[in-house]
Amino acid sequence: MTTSTETLTASLMAAKKAKGMSFADLEAAMGLDEVWVASLFYGQATASKEEAEKLAELLSLDPAITAALQEFPTKGSLDPVIPTDPLIYRFYEIMQVYGMPLKDVIQEKFGDGIMSAIDFTLDVDKVEDPKGDRVKITMCGKFLPYKKW
């Protein structure tokens, strides 16, 4: 039986809260990046059997949730298409403003192609600043040139 993404996310978040753990705590315990672990919670990644069992041990998950973590998800299918959460919407807005400029700069440096979201890492850091702490997001993806045939 397949567990819905919403049920999976709610169950995992409740278990994490009950154990008083953060994604950084899970990163330390599992040896996997906190952003990747969070993507697993939202049904956007697949855990190996060992990873699912380790998370189950850490969060006291039931077998159905542990099994669901190992299923191949439909990625990028979070609703709504235009986000309404203010933090997520800000990324949408950033791409509206800087998407084409980023595309042009990347293609000037690398040629005609795209940045992989598969061979990819994403890091979030806190940068302390006397005028207000800052969020530093680093995306690192392999460049994939378009093939000619």
Q: pLDDT digit string (tens) for 127-136?
A: 999 999 999 9
What is the predicted pLDDT for the residue at 3? 74
Q: On the CB side of 106, how many CA atoms lie within 13 Å of its CA?
A: 18
Average pLDDT, the chain: 94
The answer to whether the beta carbons of residues 42 and 12 sit under 8 Å apart is: no
Domains observed in the chain: 5-68 (1.10.260.40), 79-105 (no CATH), 112-149 (3.30.1160.10)
Residue 148 has a pLDDT of 85
- For the annotated catalytic residues, the residue numbers are 90, 93, 116
| Confidence (pTM) | 0.81
Write down the pLDDT at residue 100: 87
Q: In this structure, are residues 113 and 141 in contact, taking their beta carbons and an 8 Å threshold?
A: no
Condensed to tens digits (0 to 9), the pLDDT of residues 91-100 reads: 999 999 899 8
CB atoms within 10 A of CB 24: 12
Quick one: average pLDDT of 80-99?
Answer: 90
What is the C-alpha to C-alpha distance for residues 83 and 86, in angstroms, rounded to an integer? 8
